[in-house]
Amino acid sequence: MPHEIDPSFLALPLRALADAALARARALGAEHADFRLERVRSAAWRLRDGKPAGSSDTTDLGYAVRVVHGGSWGFASGVDLTMDAAARVASQAVAMAKLSAQVIQASGSDERVELAAEPVHADRTWVSSYEINPFDVPDADKTGLLTDWSERLLAADGVAHADASLLTVQENKFYADTAGTTTTQQRVRLHPQLTAVAVDPDSGEFESMRTLAPPVGRGWEYLAGAGGWDWDAELAEIPELLAEKMRAPSVEAGAYDLVIDPSNLWLTIHESIGHATELDRALGYEAAYAGTSFATFDQLGKLKYGSEIMNVTGDRTAEHGLATIGYDDEGVAAQSWDLVRDGTLVGYQLDRRIARLTGFERSNGCAFADSPGHVPVQRMANVSLRPAPDGPSTEELIGGVERGLYLVGDRSWSIDMQRYNFQFTAQRAFRIENGRLAGQVRDFAYQATTTDFWGSMSAVGGPQTYVLGGAFNCGKAQPGQIAAVSHGCPSALFRNINILNTTQEAGSS
């Protein structure tokens, strides 16, 4: 059922504050100005062995004014919801732009900030897709469900500890700019997670196993099984899988064919494709903090990113995606576009300045700020690997492997500053022998370069294997900002990938 914008947010003096700020920016000679008022409510509950271990419920409310004045950026923010205060914040933003212009001139640069054109979107409203707002659910119901789930795990043989958590966010934004765009939006998202821990009392060795359920742009209904997630079935199988992992032998290092489940592959997409195709990073703007990208701008349309069956999209429109919006923080309408087509790099993620700077006609809507106190920066869309329309099932992919591993669930990862050399682990790795699963192994990591890895992809699963994974905590920028993002993918088969024995690697000098 479609929802309306929270009336308590609409009751704030949104337009009056925007009018005061934008009028002052115009009067001071700004070539462009935008106003953004946000209210972000975040709540979390944590249980340890079925007992409360902490909770929080915070709200961040404020507004920001960003200007282009004299060809330079200026930014300021405030929390005083009066017209005079909003006008003062606009004056501060213009003053910052003038100061920035002096610094740029002193450096000898003549680069001016110009923004790609965007149609005017007047009086637009957008609400994300959910049924039950988690903030309408009593806290006792939330802790009660987490307690029940924890107790189920703790009642199973071999489970020594159980951790449970739930993160929920409601994000409201009002945006207006001097071109005439005004948008009002509301997004809801949540992330439930349970972890079981087994401990060998004799050796002290331990292993853990976490639920595979991804964070989603849904409401409370997700915890009741909406979206096809069977919580009862997953909780029932974790203890047995964990016990098997405790008994599993250490992997034999070498080359293996890998069938990778979406619950693991989403993170490899995030690190080796999602970040690598942020054009600000490829141009060097993130070099001081988060690194650059091997997928440099001169390789657009040329770089063989992977095999010909590799098709990757950037998408701000996917239903229930964590990075799904109606309009970004520069007033750009949400879009879907190709990043990799038939294995070749064909696109990037853009904001309005980077789009204009590099000759694109339009931004694809990737500007985002995680709070009213932060300036919008270019952030990741939902970056997803497309399934094959008539592709195989996961079982059929496994059936085509003589010697390999089936990897399930994300765990740890490492990638270099150019998003090229990497290694990833998984929560579970099952040996594949002659097309059949043959028990778990431990101490494994898969290692490759980005282009070798995606070039080795020989089959992608069909739509029936597709899952939208993701994370709440993608970090970028200085000062640091956090964004939630989803990555959809099918199961996929990769040939001849190097598998490390992590225990042996840790002991090598």
pLDDT tens track for 341-357: 999 999 999 999 999 99
Q: Which of 247, 264, 284 is the last residue of a domain?
A: 247
Same domain, 399 and 296: yes
CA distance 286 to 344: 24
Mean pLDDT computed over every residue of the chain? 96
* Rounded mean pLDDT, 383-402: 98
CATH number of the domain that 132 lies in? 3.30.2290.10
Predicted confidence (pLDDT) per residue in 137-148, tens digit: 999 999 999 999
SS3 state at 6? coil
Range list of β-strands (E), 158-278: 161-177, 182-199, 206-210, 254-260
For residue 498, what pLDDT is reported? 98
- Res 299: pLDDT: 98
pLDDT digits (tens, 9 = 90+) for 445-487: 999 999 999 999 999 999 999 999 999 999 999 999 999 999 9
- Count of domains forming the chain: 2
* 323 is a domain residue: yes
Residues 217 and 268 in one domain: no
Query: pLDDT tier at 340 (50, 70, 90 boundaries)?
Result: very high
Residue 108 in any domain: the answer is: yes
| 215: three-class secondary structure by DSSP | coil
Residue 2 lies in a domain: no
Torsion of CA 289, 292, 297, 298, to 10 degrees: 140
Q: Of 247, 271, 290, which residue sits at a domain end?
A: 247
| SS3 call for 241 | helix
Has residue 47 got a pLDDT over 50?
A: yes
Q: Is there a cis peptide before residue 2, judged by omega within 30 degrees of 0?
A: no
Q: What is the structure's pLDDT at 111?
A: 87
- Give which of 262, 252, 253 is closest to 498, Cα–Cα: 253
- Minimal CA–CA distance to 386: which of 437, 441, 460, 478? 460
Task: Please report, in angstroms and rounded to a whole number, the separation of the first and last CA atoms in the chain.
Answer: 59
Query: Please, which residues have CB within 8 angstroms of residue 417's CB and are 6 or more apart in sequence?
Result: 290, 291, 292
379 and 231 part of one domain: no
Residues 6 or more apart in contact with residue 410 via CB below 8 angstroms: 263, 264, 266, 267, 424, 426, 427, 469
pLDDT digits (tens, 9 = 90+) for 206-262: 999 999 999 999 999 999 888 889 999 999 999 999 999 999 999 999 999 999 999
Structural domain for 447, as ranges: 254-507
Size of the chain in residues: 509
Q: Are residues 183 and 273 in the same domain?
A: no
Are residues 162 and 184 part of one domain?
A: yes
Q: What is the pLDDT of residue 509?
A: 45
Q: Do 485 and 415 fall into the same domain?
A: yes
Q: Which of 215, 247, 279 is the last residue of a domain?
A: 247
Looking at residue 1, its pLDDT comes to 58
For residue 28, tell me if it sits in a domain: yes
Q: Does residue 298 share a domain with residue 204?
A: no
Same structural domain for residues 420 and 496?
yes
- Same domain membership, residue 284 and residue 192: no
- Asked if 66 and 174 sit in the same domain, the reply is yes
pLDDT band, residue 72 (cuts 50/70/90): very high
Across the strands, what pairs with 475?
482
Question: pLDDT at position 508, please?
Answer: 57
Tell me if 472 is assigned to some domain.
Answer: yes
pTM: 0.97
Do 292 and 243 lie in one domain? The reply is no
Q: 406 φ, ψ to 5°? A: -110, 120
Using the predicted structure, report yes or no on whether residue 269 has a pLDDT greater than 60.
yes
Residue 478 included in any domain: yes
| Long-range CB contacts for residues 106-114, cutoff 8 Å, separation at least 24 | 112/71, 112/72, 113/68, 113/71, 113/72, 113/73, 113/353, 114/68, 114/71, 114/353, 114/356, 114/357
In-domain check, residue 166: yes
Identify whether 1 is part of a domain: no
Rg (C-alpha) for the chain, rounded Å, is 24
One domain for residues 206 and 274: no
pLDDT of residue 363 exceeding 70, the answer is: yes
Is the Cβ–Cβ distance between 262 and 467 less than 8 Å?
Answer: yes
Distances (CA, A) of 242 to 20, 48, 153, 159, 398: 59, 18, 11, 8, 22
